Amino acid sequence: MAEYFGTNAEAVFATMPERFIPEKVQDVDVTIGYDITGEGGGIWLVAIQAGTLKAEKIDSELPECSASIKTDAETFVGGSLGRIDLNAAMFAGKFKVKGDISVMTNILPKAFKKFSLAGEEQAEEFISIKAMPSINQRFATGAHMGQWFKGLMNKKFYAAKCPSCGRIQIPPREVCAECVVRSDDFVEVGPNGTVANMDIVYYASPDPLTGKVRSTPYVTLYLWMDGTTPGECLSFDLNPKDTNRIQRGMRVRPVWNEVRNAGIDDLLYFEIDD
C-alpha cells in the first residue's frame, strides 16, 4: 500500500475505533462517505450513531451519506496528520465535501482524537481565539497636531509656516523637510479649497478607525486650501452626494459636525461650493 508521510489511508480508518470518543457524540446520527482516489485510496463508510462507530471499506459506490468527502490519498493522510492544510486543499479543489459541511467542522473534530503516527507524541492542539479588544487609551498629539485638532473644533484650519522658505504645510508639521528647520508658526488657511486631484474608490478596505467597510464608491479629495503653498495638499473625503459631479479645479467647502470634540470627526467632509 502506498505510504504518505510514513503512513496510509488504511491506517487512518483502522485507528478510528481507538480514537473514537463516544461520549462526545451521543446525540449524533451521521454517515460519512470517503471517496479516496489515487494509490492507496478506496471507498470507506463511517457511521456514527448514538455513541457507536462503524468504519468499513466497501467495494461498491458510495451510498447516500450525510456528508461525503472526495480527495486523493495523499491529501487525506496529510490532512489527517495535520501536515496538509485542508482549508487550502479545499480552495485548490483537492478536497471536496458534499452534503452537510458541519459534519467536517463540528462532528468529526469532537468524535475522534487526532490521528498521529505510531509512537509520535500527540502534540498539544493550538487554540485560536478571535477577539476585538477595546482599550481605553489617550493619545498625545504633540503641539502641531494639537493645534490642528483645536482648529477643527472651532471650524478653522491651521497650517504650519516655515520660517525659512515660507512654505505652508497642512496639516501642520513640525519640520520643513526642505529647509530642515522647525516650523512652529501657525497660520489659518481655508476654509475653502480647490480640488487638485481625487481618488474614486470602488473597492474599500476596512476603515482603520472603525474596522467597518465603507460603502463605495467614495471619493478622497486632494485639496489646495486657500492660502496654502501650491503643491501642499490636504486630503479628505467628499460628501457622497457630490460623487458623480466632482471634477478637478472645482471649489469645495467644509461641512462640519454639529458636535465637535477636537477630533477627526469634527470635519465630516468637503462638498462642492456652488
Residues at the site binding Zn ion, with contacts judged by CB under 5 A: 162, 164-165, 167, 176, 178-179
Alpha-carbon gap, residue 163 to 174, rounded angstroms? 12
Shortest distance, position 183 Cβ to Zn ion, whole Å: 7
User: Which residue's CB is nearer to Zn ion, number 179 or number 262?
Assistant: 179
Cβ-proximal residues to 146 (8 Å cutoff; 6+ apart), any chain: none
User: Which residue's CB is nearer to Zn ion, number 67 or number 176?
Assistant: 176
Shortest distance, position 160 Cβ to Zn ion, whole Å: 10
Shortest distance, position 155 Cβ to Zn ion, whole Å: 28
Alpha-carbon gap, residue 189 to 156, rounded angstroms? 8
Mark 165-188 as b/e (b = at least 16 C-beta within 10 Å).
Answer: eebbbbbbbeebeeeeeebeebee
Alpha-carbon gap, residue 32 to 24, rounded angstroms? 17
Q: How many residues does the chain have?
A: 274
Shortest distance, position 88 Cβ to Zn ion, whole Å: 53
The strand ranges marked E within the chain are 29-37, 42-49, 52-58, 67-72, 95-99, 157-161, 168-169, 175-176, 181-182, 185-189, 193-201, 218-225, 234-237, 251-256, 267-272
Shortest distance, position 173 Cβ to Zn ion, whole Å: 11
Grid coordinates representing 167 are: 512654505
User: Which residue's CB is nearer to Zn ion, number 99 or number 227?
Assistant: 227
User: Which residue's CB is nearer to Zn ion, number 107 or number 167?
Assistant: 167
User: Which residue's CB is nearer to Zn ion, number 21 or number 165?
Assistant: 165
Shortest distance, position 185 Cβ to Zn ion, whole Å: 11
User: Which residue's CB is nearer to Zn ion, number 49 or number 164?
Assistant: 164
